[in-house]
Amino acid sequence: MTHQEYVQNRRNEIVAVSHLLRENKIDFLIAIRRLACLKHEVSEDGFDEEFTIFVLMEDDTDHMPEEDLRNICSKDWLDRCDRELNEIKEYYSSEISEGCRKLIKRFAPT
């Protein structure tokens, strides 16, 4: 696989994850963490405005366990994390949706 093919695959993944996130068909934490990570795969200078909301969301939720780690957490902790996550999702819903729209527009194959 060439570097160009690798980058195109990452761009396709960004589009796919963005669609799934907008449609609530993917775990929220997994999606925002994946998009924040993919920024480094496609951004040339390390700063990319379209990914800002996902980097911020990743930072705001970095203490929250993903699904595969929830079984080792206390119910009280999970309840607090779930409440906080729901508040974050509600508060930033329009910014997240707009961020997804921008990523889809930018990276979708033409």
The pLDDT value given to residue 35: 96
- Name 100's Cβ contacts closer than 8 Å, sequence gap at least 6: 18, 19, 21, 22
Task: Provide the whole-model pTM.
Answer: 0.90
Residues 100 and 23: beta-carbon distance below 8 Å? no
Contact between 64 and 81 under an 8 Å Cβ cutoff? The reply is yes
The confidence score (pLDDT) of residue 52 equals 93
Q: Is residue 106 part of a domain?
A: no
Domain ranges, residue 35: 3-98
On whether residue 103 sits in a domain, the answer given is no
Among 37, 3, 1, which Cα is nearest to 17's? Answer: 37
Say whether pLDDT at 3 is over 80.
yes
Q: What percent of the chain has pLDDT over 90?
A: 82
Above 90 in pLDDT, residue 88? yes
What's the pLDDT at 66?
A: 87
Q: Is residue 76 part of a domain?
A: yes
